[in-house]
Chain A
């Protein structure tokens, strides 16, 4: 049915149109084209409407009610859920945890990623293999590798405890210690994500024209100077892209925290996304969870829009 619809394209010569079908007047043809367009785009649009846009609107409504997910009635509470989040000290702690996790995860993975990219940008044999190894954790299941890391961090049988003991250092109880659990999940996040940063930085480094370095060298710039005056500014768009995507990525990091700590001990690793899950599906505070998920959405939206603005500006002067 689709293939049979008479279709004309802009710029097609008339004789071809006439050859194609007796019915094909230009008007009729463009209507057929519009129908085909809708048929092709339809499924994607329908799915987005049903599973992205409608849920967004609906969660706006849910954030204004009190509901336990099973009872037939929802109680309208106005802005109570938001007021609760704004005044509750527990939620402030959640936001603080999110901030610490984001700063640690983004900072750590980008700094190490850049260092690795600088290393792998050297003309050394085996660097492609090294790039693949470093990148591999990015693709592995967060749930599965979190279990591996629980074993790594085990204070009695774990590799880290065993390595510390060779220096006569007693291992902290990591995941059961409110002070060490957050560093532990940040370490895992960094390990899993530094490969992505490294690969992107590496692509950026390889895109810097060689003659810029040559020119800087002619001007008498040393290694350090060249890095500061050529590499850093030339990498800045890529760096900005990585900062933004990594921040969004840490906001969505659920599996590491869920598997390794379940937000504990005493909420010390509970971030915003984990809070949304726990309030919604464990404590059945659907209204509160929806309000928190919209807080998460607004933060991410602001960051995304900032990126869009920035990259638009970049296009103009590039």
Chain B
């Protein structure tokens, strides 16, 4: 276990002059050799710049591609910056966004957006409600063999949804109509949302958070005759809000990006979310019309990027907390 890891980290250190920077700057106060220090700093900044450029390049290639005409995509020498994004051409807005309008018309993106929003918001709310209620019960209510139920929920973490796609599909598409007399859930919103509405991760996360809340507040509330639902709504939820927001964001990202399950459970274009819809557009336009395809890709990515820019601290810190405390 240990030896391959060690070999790996040595490789990193050997290739990165950066860890030297740390030594340089931490001893810097006494060293006084300003030149060495600033050289190390310079190397550090250069490395950060290189890193950011390297990671962002595919996204820049996507954005510039979305504004290129198909001639600009094909010609040599390479056109790096599309004419549509040159400052003197911004006047003609139609020419600049022609790929976007074409993509929007090539597939029912309005429908895809609505579907994605329904699946994401509906799924997130159900997951959050489930997590809050279960976590509250596990944290504050007495029940015989309560821990057994907790283990039963946690054990579901070990069954990834990818493993159960076939039987779940059979359950919704065959067993529901044939055995229970319920109309098939194939091609329905409930078929896309409900199988993912249970949550073990959220239950675990919120239960930990609830147990960490100061006990005396609850005791005081109980002495005042406060019932459990009042306690949950008025005290526990407001106090645990940051964790709940974090979980809601993580859940939202996962639902928006979900691909395999909606791909299987839908067979009509009108029911597909963005992630699935865009791959069908890609199959149709393929590598003949990258400009339009890149514009369509931006349709899928832009909302999440916006959410991330707005809430990145919540998301990153939430994910780190889950990992480092787990």
Contact = CB atoms under 8 A, between A and B. Distances in A.
B138 interface: yes
Nearest to A19: B225
Interface in A226-285: 227-228, 231-232, 236, 238-243, 245, 248, 251-252, 254-255, 258-259, 273, 276-277, 280-281
B151 to A, nearest CB: 11
B166 A293 contact: yes
A101 interface: no
B199 to A, nearest CB: 7
Nearest to B264: A281
Contacts of A240: 1
Interface in B99-117: none
Nearest to B250: A139
B130 interface: yes
A116 B163 contact: no
Interface residues of B, number: 116
Nearest to A46: B198
| Chain A facing B: main interface SS | helix
B78 A162 contact: yes
Given A277-B260, A297-B163, A141 B304 contact: yes
A281 B166 CA distance: 8
Interface stretch (A84-92, A121-129, A178-186): A121-129
B71 to A, nearest CB: 11
B131 to A, nearest CB: 8
Question: Interface range on chain A: under 10, 10 to 19, 20 to 34, or 35 or more?
Answer: 35 or more
| Chain B facing A: main interface SS | helix
B137 A139 contact: no
Contact of A51 (B195, B300, B316, B320): B195
B74 A157 contact: yes
A121 B22 contact: yes
Contacts of B165: 276-277, 280, 293
Contacts of B301: 140-141, 144-145
Interface of B: 1-2, 5-6, 8-9, 11-13, 15-16, 18-23, 25, 41, 44-45, 47-48, 51-52, 55-59, 61-62, 65, 73-74, 78, 130-131, 133-134, 136-138, 140-144, 146, 149, 152-153, 156-160, 162-171, 194-200, 203, 219, 222-225, 227-230, 253, 256-257, 259-260, 263-264, 274-276, 278-279, 282, 287, 290, 293-294, 297, 300-301, 304-305, 308-309, 312, 315-316, 319-320, 323-324, 326
